[in-house]
Amino acid sequence: MATIDSQHDAAAAPIRGLSKKGRLEIDRLFEALVRLQGSDLHLKVGQPPFMRVKGSLQPLKHDKIDDDTMQRLCFAMLDDRQKRILDNDGGCDFAHTCVVDDIRWRFRVNLLYQQGSLGMVARRVNNTIPDFKGLYLPESIERLCVLDQGMVLLAGVTGSGKSTTIGSMLNYINQRYRKHILTLEDPIEFVFTEDKCLINQREIGTDVKNFEIGMKHAVREDPDIILVGELRDVETFKTAIHAAETGHLVFGTIHAASASSCIGRILDLFPQEEHASIRSAIAFNMKGIIAQKLLKSIKPGVSRVPICEVMFFDVLVKKYVLEEQDHLLADHIKKSFRDGMQDFTQSLKSLIDQQLIDRNDAMEIAPNREALEMALKGIGVS
């Protein structure tokens, strides 16, 4: 595995003491991450620091980190509440800021215990929120930003770009409409600069105890748009769908592999006897689901691009959801390409045609290699 040569960056010297008054020791590594334009920083006992640069995880040329150093580096970032959460849960999430060249950078940090030792994974959050064009997102998702009410979900695994896409969608609204946007996040990632919208951002654990309480408060705070960081339990989903039913536009994220599989993922939260009512709530309130994956780009200056599956809740999607015919959703998405929907195969073909991704890389992650090969030959994709 190639190592990142850090002899000219901020992580070159061994970790010892503060490099500048008031700075934490670990900020030296966060500064290196910024300068190397990396996305993630990994710290594990017995290993040197690792950074993900252009999608590839690489070690720094740096001493291996021992237990004492790991605890000294990480504990300095925590307040008393976060220390209690780490002790009780074996892990905690929070935001950390670091100034590099007079610019304040934010990082989403997760501390975890593994095999008895403390570890850390941190993601750099971009200071600017790119627009749809800058993210190479499909133009059709703009229609989800002009809705007055309903629910919009972003699906994907951790690190698939869901938060960035939602940030871009909310900023689209912020630049065009006079509305009240309320976000509930754990932790806050993008800090929005108000343009036309009034924006309140609440951090779970700091501003409000949990998502459930935050959502109960939210509907009394006159929002037009509510961002729920993640739909992870029954109460959060029920409160979010109630907000959509009562005239709010609700954005949320969910861990699911595809747009069509989101329905089953939501139903898994509930007992079987509630599935019919939940299907009805989804069919009549959900407006769209975007599923994402990230793939390394071959275009100079572009690190990674999102591969997107887009499903709008048209008449047939609603029918399939209500009638428990979820297996028909994927084919309907593919056939509705001209109506703004697209599956992963169509997204991959589009990005290859734009010379944004490598054909072989696309084949590696294609859900159906044969379908992608046919699509590139002009067969099977409208």
| Distance from C-alpha of 253 to C-alpha of 5, rounded to nearest angstrom | 36
| Distance from C-alpha of 195 to C-alpha of 131, rounded to nearest angstrom | 14
The reply to whether 138 and 284 lie within a common domain is yes
The reply to whether 154 and 222 lie within a common domain is yes
Q: Mean pLDDT across the stretch 50-59?
A: 90
Share of the chain above pLDDT 90, in %: 75
What pLDDT is recorded for position 179?
97
The reply to whether 162 and 81 lie within a common domain is no
What pLDDT is recorded for position 209?
87
Q: Which of 50-54, 172-176, 308-312 is predicted with the least confidence, judged by mean pLDDT?
A: 50-54
The reply to whether 251 and 358 lie within a common domain is yes
Q: How many domains does the chain have?
A: 2
- The boundaries of the domain holding residue 56 are 27-125
What pLDDT is recorded for position 311?
98
Query: Has residue 16 got a pLDDT over 70?
Result: no
The reply to whether 223 and 190 lie within a common domain is yes
What pLDDT is recorded for position 381?
52
* Domain boundary, last residue among 107, 125, 143: 125
Residue 47 located in a structural domain: yes
What pLDDT is recorded for position 281?
97
* Domain boundary, last residue among 97, 125, 153: 125
Between 235 and 382, residue with greater pLDDT: 235
On the 0-12 / 13-18 / 19+ scale of CB atoms within 10 A, 78 is middle
Residue 18 located in a structural domain: no
What pLDDT is recorded for position 202?
94
The reply to whether 62 and 159 lie within a common domain is no
Query: Has residue 19 got a pLDDT over 60?
Result: no
Residue 236 located in a structural domain: yes
Query: Has residue 20 got a pLDDT over 80?
Result: no
DSSP code of residue 32? H
Q: Mean pLDDT across the stretch 159-167?
A: 91
Q: pLDDT band at residue 17, thresholds of 50, 70 and 90?
A: very low
Residue-wise DSSP of 277-290: HHHHHHHHHEEEEE
The beta-strand segments (E) located in 63-191 are 91-100, 103-114, 117-125, 150-155, 180-185
The reply to whether 169 and 85 lie within a common domain is no
What pLDDT is recorded for position 301?
87
* Domain boundary, last residue among 82, 101, 125: 125
| Distance from C-alpha of 104 to C-alpha of 317, rounded to nearest angstrom | 44
Q: pLDDT band at residue 5, thresholds of 50, 70 and 90?
A: low
Residue 8 located in a structural domain: no
Query: Has residue 13 got a pLDDT over 50?
Result: no
Residue 173 located in a structural domain: yes
Q: pLDDT band at residue 4, thresholds of 50, 70 and 90?
A: low
CATH number at residue 161: 3.40.50.300
Query: Has residue 77 got a pLDDT over 70?
Result: yes
Peptide bond connecting 187 to the previous residue in cis, omega within 30 degrees of 0: yes
Residue 21 located in a structural domain: no
Q: pLDDT band at residue 360, thresholds of 50, 70 and 90?
A: very high
CATH number at residue 97: 3.30.450.90
CB atoms within 10 A of CB 134: 11
Joined tokens for residue 207: 């501003």
What pLDDT is recorded for position 56?
87
177-218 pLDDT per residue, tens: 999 999 998 888 888 999 999 999 998 888 998 888 888 888
Residue 7 located in a structural domain: no
Q: Mean pLDDT across the stretch 263-277?
A: 96
The reply to whether 44 and 159 lie within a common domain is no
Widest Cα–Cα separation across the chain: 63
The reply to whether 94 and 196 lie within a common domain is no
| Distance from C-alpha of 109 to C-alpha of 22, rounded to nearest angstrom | 20
What single-letter amino acid sits at 100? V
| Distance from C-alpha of 96 to C-alpha of 272, rounded to nearest angstrom | 41
Q: Mean pLDDT across the stretch 79-86?
A: 92
The reply to whether 96 and 141 lie within a common domain is no
| Distance from C-alpha of 59 to C-alpha of 152, rounded to nearest angstrom | 38
Residue 10 located in a structural domain: no
The reply to whether 120 and 138 lie within a common domain is no
Q: What are phi and psi of 249, to 5 degrees?
A: -100, 120
Sheet holding 117-125, edge to edge: 56-59, 50-53, 40-44, 117-125, 103-114, 91-100
The reply to whether 152 and 181 lie within a common domain is yes
